[in-house]
Amino acid sequence: MTDQPASPTRRSHLRTPRQRTGIRWAAALAVSTIALTGCGSDTTTTGSGSSDPSDPTFQLGDFVVTLDRPSIPSGKVTINARNDGGEDHELVIVRADAVSDLPTKADGSVDEDKIAEADRRGEIEDVRADQTKSGTFELEPGTYVAFCNLVDEMGSGMMGGGQTPSTMMGGGTGTGHVHFALGMHQLLTVT
Ligand SMILES: [Cu+2]
């Protein structure tokens, strides 16, 4: 009876970094099929549950990033990303002297393609609400920016009803939360 088309494009965004944001709630609710076909490829980090709280920890919120200490020692360092917010977040670390040095797109998100390979230090992807994930980074002394670059296609509408997942891949014209532009960045000093 429902005439919603089973949007065939929905599957394609599972592995597309800039699109994975919008589906989180719908994903939790509506994706029996997606989950079955798309699982098993999350390779980013060491996962949750085994993080050591004494390691440097970034707290991710809606929409803020904070670090639990003034600086991080250089070398190979394990970092936690703890999501205290209600939305999914991520933590990207790049070498930069200032937040304003990062290249941005028209929507205000960071244009990661324009960041030199040498300045990228990696990221902890897909940190869900109430989850802590860890990642190991090789950091030489200097200044970095840690940020979340997720963009919600649906914005806050997702928290309310969210029962029409087909709409979110349909238009794609409206942009919701641009996490970076909303303040999800933190200058990081490595000593
Ligand atoms: Cu975020």
Over the stretch 107-156, which tens digit does the pLDDT of each residue have?
Answer: 999 999 999 999 999 999 999 999 999 999 999 999 999 999 999 876 44
Asked if residue 147 has a cis previous peptide bond (ω within 30° of 0), the answer is no
CB 26 within 8 A of CB 166: no
User: How far is the centre of ligand 1, averaged over its atoms, from the C-alpha of 148 (Å)?
Assistant: 5
User: How far is the centre of ligand 1, averaged over its atoms, from the C-alpha of 2 (Å)?
Assistant: 33
User: How far is the centre of ligand 1, averaged over its atoms, from the C-alpha of 107 (Å)?
Assistant: 15
DSSP state at residue 182: T
Cα–Cα distances in angstroms (integers) from residue 93 to residues 83, 139, 149, 152, 158, in the given order? 16, 10, 11, 20, 27
Whole-number Å distance between alpha carbons of 26 and 158: 8
Global pTM reads: 0.67
pLDDT tens digits for range 38-84: 333 333 444 545 789 999 999 999 999 999 999 999 999 999 999 99
- E strand or H helix at 181: none
* pLDDT at 13 exceeding the cut of 50: no
User: How far is the centre of ligand 1, averaged over its atoms, from the C-alpha of 34 (Å)?
Assistant: 23
Which has more confidence, 18 or 39?
18
User: How far is the centre of ligand 1, averaged over its atoms, from the C-alpha of 184 (Å)?
Assistant: 6
User: How far is the centre of ligand 1, averaged over its atoms, from the C-alpha of 150 (Å)?
Assistant: 5
pLDDT at residue 122, as a whole number: 97
CATH class of 8-190: mainly beta
User: How far is the centre of ligand 1, averaged over its atoms, from the C-alpha of 129 (Å)?
Assistant: 10
Give the angle subtended at the CA of 124 by the CAs of 152 and 40, to the nearest 5°. 85
User: How far is the centre of ligand 1, averaged over its atoms, from the C-alpha of 103 (Å)?
Assistant: 18
